[in-house]
Amino acid sequence: MPGVQLPENVELLRTRVVLERDRVFSVSGSDYPGQYPGISNAWDLEEFKKNLRIKINRLTPESMEFDLIGVDASIANAFRRILIAEVPTMAIEKVYVLNNTSIIHDEVLAHRLGLIPIKADPRLFDFKSVRCATEDSGPTDLNTIVFKLKVKCENNPDASPDETDPKKKYINSHDTEDTFKVYSGDLVWEPKGAQAEKFADAPIRPVLDDILIAKLRPGQEIDMELHCHKGVGKEHAKWSPVATASYRLLPEITILKPITGDAADRFQKCFPEGVVDVVNVQGVKTAKVVNPRKDTVSREVLRHKEFEDKVRLTRVRDHFIYLSLSAAYVLFVAMIPTPDLSHLTSKDFDRVYEPAVCLEIGSGSGCVSTFLAKIVGPDNADSLIPRLDGAVDIMCFNPPYVVTSPDEVGSHGIEAAWAGGVDGREVIDLFLPYVPPLALLVRTTPYKKELGKCHHIDIPINRIFQALIVAQWCLLPTFDQRKPAKRSG
């Protein structure tokens, strides 16, 4: 909240990740409600919008670097995963082989072709609908791009028998080796329907023309028709618009005491070029931090005793530097498409009952639950229970069921993932009372309620059915018991 001043050391741990010579601490965020006096940290949309900033630092056809500022790590990681798996692109999906006498098998060749990035605006195409598991809706100019690949390696009859230059030895060769190489530039786009007119200003083609597909020897031939469809990376990596998407926290270098003279030069050499400069201050060489974002955080400077207590290395907790390597134009033209609901009618909504909920209890990837904990607090989930009353169709829970000391239950270490306390049931016993009100009567149509299902994992020593008798709902057909799978190693 404005005007609230925390002690300097507390503010440092709240807003920074601190690096020392032999450890990194204050790694986990602590900005959840009630953690600091006078600071609410409750979810506020207007406050979130005010703090959120995006700054694009570098943009090329192959890469993009931008800063995402003012968000929690859970949001930053969710955004990274969206870039990888949720942004649609066009990629080769169907390969119709008319002739392939190369040494590469049809399946391997089809896989290589699928990974060639296609430069086409995915917003101008529809997802190809599937009627059933074995039949789709068929290609149209609205959902399919067609390429032809027809290449053949032939000797040039006019070339000398002693010729070694591939450009003269073979017909149509564009290589410098004693082979005929097939590149992505050999793909020929065949416009269908209105595609020629629609894409007249930006013809569809591979993003790069020099991606090697195959090598041919005289007499070998490839003749194929390729169909590109729209898809997303979570279905197959070939639709992922980014070769890689990563982020790191902004480095911060704070000089606590002046570093002058020859020590300034030695200090400068502890960092990558461009991070620290040596300037003249009143005739004295003095070290000055000029661009900390170039620092690789090697902590080399902390190895030297002469710089102890003179410098502090931290990372800004809510400042993320993103690097995406890809055909960057895709990230802009198709970041998060708006769902198309134009095909739905009022009758479609009559067949949908609300709510229809699958409740998974546990951390999962950690990103959603971490973000939720920062909004409602780790112990305030009870406020969400009334919204789920009688609404859960399927409830899944993989609890910490290992018999351990009660002290390990609910701890902040990794042991909390398996520590179940006495009989391995301390967490389970907290969970069971919530099941009947949430999943016993579930609305399956506007006029009918049925029993929901609860899938639960435990081991015999948990004596789970004793717990069910205590909970007085063991005879209800809502409980599926599963033993944990055997694992090697």
Give the C-alpha separation, 328 to 429, whole Å: 51
> Distance (Å, rounded) from C-alpha 346 to C-alpha 353?
13
The pLDDT score that the predictor gives to residue 224 is: 96
- Give the list of residues 6+ apart from residue 462 with CB closer than 8 angstroms, or none: 401, 420, 423, 424, 425, 428
Contact between residue 353 and residue 446 where contact means Cβ atoms under 8 Å apart: yes
Q: For residue 202, what are its two tokens?
A: 């930006």
Residues of the chain with pLDDT under 50: 131-133, 327-339, 353-355, 364-365, 440-449, 469-480, 485-489
Which pLDDT score is estimated for 337? 44
pTM for this one?
A: 0.57
Reduced to 3 states (helix: H, G, I; strand: E, B; else coil), residue 351 is coil
